[in-house]
Structure 1
Amino acid sequence: MNEKVTIAIEKREKAAGNKGKKLRTMGYVPGAINRKGLESVSVKIKNDELMKNVLKYGKNYLFTLDLEGQESYDVLIKEMQHSPIKRELLNVVFQQVSVTEKIKFNLNLKIVGKEALEFRKLHVVQQMEKILVSGLPQDIPDFIEIDVKDLNLDDKICVGDLKFPEGIETEFEADKIVLVINESRSDDTITEELEE
């Protein structure tokens, strides 16, 4: 079980216009807590506090939000919206979850060791970027890591080869291909093939 991490939040009045911009100027991020079968709760959260915890624990971590000492919510971050150019955090959406109910979640697949393959003129052809898993919210990792440095030409990794943490499972068939190792082709080779 992960350690409990509590982040302070404050109530926010729902408002249109440039209220969000004012909040961001004051160091806050506008946010909302989605709740199953209930109305969402509008909140504001200190930007540096949120980012510090996301960087330390990851986006898929189970956080507890403390609303001014009156209420608390066990949540996962559902969405973080950034401005396109400056990448400024515009708002955050949390999803309230139960620590006793399994949820489904799309996990990123993180490939490590690509440099070792490139050195041998090989490259990874990824068939899946994410994988749908289910488990208790507190058991869900930030990503599933796949180490490819020792793979050879035509080797493949299937869903059954992935190492899932205890309590995390997927509905995908074990023989579904995640990635294949191919030869790196130079631009000249590709051009020649296109000309043929």
Structure 2
Amino acid sequence: MSEHTIKATGRNVEGKGASRRLRHAASIPAIVYGGSAAPKPIQLDHEKIWLASQNEWFYSSILSLDVDGKVESVLLRDMQRHPYKQIIMHLDFLRVDANQALRAKVPLHFLNQDSSPAGKAADVVVLHELNEVSVSCLPADLPEFIEIDLATLAVGDIVHLSDLKLPKGVELPELKLGKEHDVAVVIAKHGRVEAEETTEAAAETAEVPAAKAAKKDDAK
């Protein structure tokens, strides 16, 4: 697990007006909560956080949050963005305990797809049903990502959650809920099959208003 440090400053003034003034001053209002300590309002430099937010690790790694020289281990739990401007409006950080398991979403990295039998075939579509998974582990074991090697993927193959190779100490809570939760992560199918399924779905959607119209005519 790589270490990433985020610097912040404590703040004493809260409320919408104070948050608005912070944003005008190119800062981001945020809060740190969880653990035995009380929630703490903080502020961060927007430009630095914006740059950090372009990296995958910002969302899936344990961060070292330095607030006025005091460092805490945290995990990003929520980010509020402006509807159309490149502005981060607010951040929520959760304190983590090194001795307590946590749950977090981890991105998936797909390897060797283009060189696989399915990837080389012109008429095969490789679908990524999931791009991230929820894991449970101790903070020290939290991976920044999970790799899926698709080197041998062929048409008709399906990679399920249970097929993922997880780092030591990492579990997938979904798999404990039953076989029906062992969902597909990657599917390789013929392109014409994908097109037929899309056409059938569109036809079923179109039949609904037609059926309603027919019922109205029958009622007259």
Task: Provide TM-score, normalisation by structure 1.
Answer: 0.79
1:163 and 2:165 are equivalent in the alignment: yes
Q: Secondary structure at the match of 1:85?
A: coil
- Residue identity matched to 2:186: L
1:146 to partner: Cα distance: 2.6
Shift of 1:122: 1.7
Question: Which structure has the larger Rg?
Answer: 2
Task: Give the structure with the higher percent strand.
Answer: 1
Aligned partner of 2:100 in structure 1 is 101
Cα displacement (A) at 1:16: 2.4
Q: Deviations over 1:94-148 (max 9, x none)?
A: 0000122221223233445666638622223445454221112232123323344
CA contact (8 A) 2:60 2:107 kept: no
Q: 1:29-80 deviations in whole A, cap 9, x for unaligned?
A: 11000113553111001123334444284322212222212x3321011111
Q: Contact 2:65–2:71 at 8 Å: present in 1 too?
A: yes
Report the CA distance shift for 1:142/1:56 in structure 2 as closer, same or farther (over 3 A).
closer
Is 1:124–1:180's contact at 8 Å kept on the other side of the alignment? yes
Name the residue aligned to 1:45: 44
Q: Check whether the contact 2:108–2:133 (CA below 8 A) recurs between aligned residues.
A: yes
Residue aligning to 2:68: 68
Q: 1:195 to 1:127 in 2, by over 3 A?
A: closer
For the 8 Å contact 1:2–1:139, the answer to whether it is kept is: no
- After TM superposition, list the pairs within 5 Å mapping 1:116-155 onto structure 2: 117=119, 120-148=122-150, 150-155=152-157
More displaced 10-residue stretch of structure 1: 87-96 or 183-192: 183-192
SS at match of 1:18: helix
- Quick one: distance in 1 between partners of 2:114 and 2:17? 46
Q: Secondary structure at the match of 1:39?
A: coil
CA contact (8 A) 2:58 2:76 kept: no
- Equivalents in 2 of 1:90, 1:147: separation in Å? 37
Q: Which residue of 2 aligns with 1:29?
A: 28
The gaps in structure 2 that reach 5 residues or longer are: 205-220
CA distance in 1, matches of 2:107, 2:195: 33
Q: Does the Cα contact within 8 Å between 1:63 and 1:75 map onto a contact in 2?
A: yes
The verdict on how the C-alpha distance between 1:22 and 1:164 changes in structure 2, with shifts beyond 3 A counting, is same
Describe the superposition over 1:5-30 as per-residue Cα deviations: whole angstroms up to 9, x where unpaired: 33221112343233223212322111
Residue of 179, 183, 192 corresponding to 2:186: 179
Q: Structure 1 stretches of 5 or more lacking a match?
A: none
Q: 1:167 to 1:13 in 2, by over 3 A?
A: same
Query: Distance in 2 between the 1:188 and 1:154 partners?
Result: 15
CA contact (8 A) 1:104 1:135 kept: yes
What do you get for the CA RMSD once the two structures are aligned? 3.2
Q: State the alpha-carbon separation in 2 of the partners of residues 155 and 57 from structure 1.
A: 30
Number of aligned positions between the proteins: 194
